[in-house]
Structure 1
């Protein structure tokens, strides 16, 4: 009996784009560039569709490829976007700011774990998870203490995180298309 190897496309870029674009939009609000009233509706749509569903689908394909890191990251952060959207739609006014702070700090701890796992992976990926860890902790502390200045710092860190994720997605697509490194990602030796 012969077996054929299934040739799967790289699911990483679509997961990274779902993460990057949704993070960018929410970070514009957290950073104080727009009010929640001006943009939260669109962020909710992105969180449910692109940030949530696209990342979960990417995670399932990473599972099929045997990539534990990609599977864990995309499924988890896809679920984050769903929990954030459902919370924002149904429960925001009913939750104590300190508890929201803990929710975000728990994601900061998860992101720290994922950052440590990136230390053998490309440097751009490590930078993304380092910034994401700082983002969650800043937002958690800011929301928990109801300190808008710290939330704004978290929003700005989120913008940096989103740019890094978008760069990595672009690098993966462009480098594969050209068959060579056009956009370097800091491969570790």
Structure 2
């Protein structure tokens, strides 16, 4: 991509901050699950990077006419706003969420992430793999908490760490393509070919 083409663009790609928010929030949460750091970091990093940054990316995708990233970033952005709220409620005893509600919330988003896989598979190989890792990781963590199985939850953590690594890979490709006009890492072919545009 030439400098003329880059300067001709009127907007930046909101996926840059969306992926960044996902990577940082997911990594922080999984390190807390592994006992490397406390949940205090999850509250602040999750609310800001996972929540505010991803919702912002989602709303900017709306104005760019990008339906896929509009719903994906908003869905997980609001997930990350709710999760710190659960932590805060537990600390303050205010609208406290207890019992199986939190893990079931994660399982629900595991199903949502899996639903995104098929549309993501129309883009490249890495994106659907990332969403599959998110789906499996959230499901294992949720069911691990419900069944009180620490090993199951730990496996879920590693799937989510893999999702964070894959999202970092996507971010590297997108950043260098947008700023230098070069594809520095391969994303692989799409798994599903695009159908007809349903809009009139």
Is TM (by shorter chain) over 0.5?
yes
Deviation >3 Å, runs of 4+: 91-97
Show the counterpart of 1:22. 25
| Pairing 1:31-180 to 2, within 5 Å after superposition | 32-34=34-36, 38-91=37-90, 94-180=96-182
Determine the C-alpha separation between the residues in 1 that align with 2:62 and 2:101: 32
Number of residue pairs matched by the alignment: 181
Show the counterpart of 1:8. 11
Gaps of 5+ in 2: 1-7, 194-200
Deviation at 1:98, TM superposition (A): 2.6
Question: Bigger relative contact order, structure 1 or 2, given CA contacts below 8 A and separation 6+?
Answer: 1
Gaps of 5+ in 1: none
Deviation track 1:43-70 (CA, whole Å, cap 9, x = no partner) reads 2111111111110111111101111110
- The 1:151–1:97 alpha-carbon spacing in structure 2 relative to 1, beyond 3 Å, is farther
Deviation at 1:141, TM superposition (A): 0.5
Going by fraction, where is helix more abundant, 1 or 2?
1
Determine the C-alpha separation between the residues in 1 that align with 2:189 and 2:58: 22
TM-score normalised by length of structure 2: 0.84
Deviation at 1:187, TM superposition (A): 4.0
RMSD: 1.8
Range that drifts further, 178-187 or 150-159? 178-187
| Alpha-carbon contact 1:59-1:70 (below 8 Å) kept | yes
